Amino acid sequence: AGYHAVKAPVFPFQKFPGVDFVLGPEMRSTGEVMGVDVSLPNAYLKAMLAAGTRFPTEGGVFVSVRQGDRDVMIPVVRSLMAMGFKVFTTKGTGELLAKHGLRPKILKKI
């Protein structure tokens, strides 16, 4: 079986108080980490965790997916809702999710 490797930069902003957080073209990373797994999503997750990325465990997620990709996002949204995230969508995405028993908050266009 093949493996996927994902390389991620490490940005230790906490070590440099007062430094501008806007990254320029040189990015100013001080190191790199790598996540390896047979699954690309898991390799990516491992790299992000190794780089110190903190993922939210609550809150809201805005979802707007082009029509051709909407069926793929249904299990993702179902998982997010099962974890307790509030899901906000555009009208078309929200209507499709409702047909699959999910009840996102549909936002109006401005």
Tell me the backbone φ, ψ of residue 104, rounded to 5 degrees. Answer: -80, 170
Q: Is the pLDDT of residue 26 over 70?
A: no
- Dihedral Cα 53, 81, 76, 73, nearest 10 deg: -130
Q: Is the pLDDT of residue 23 over 70?
A: no
Domains of the chain: 4-50 (no CATH), 60-106 (3.40.50.1380)
pLDDT tier, 9 (very low <50, low <70, confident <90, very high otherwise): confident
Encoded tokens for 90:
């555009």
Q: Where are the beta strands (DSSP E) in the chain?
A: 4-10, 31-37, 60-63, 86-89, 105-106
pLDDT tier, 22 (very low <50, low <70, confident <90, very high otherwise): low
User: For 11, which DSSP code?
Assistant: -
pLDDT of residue 49: 93
**pLDDT: which is higher, 81 or 18:** 81
Mean pLDDT of 84-100: 95
- Global model pTM greater than 0.75: no
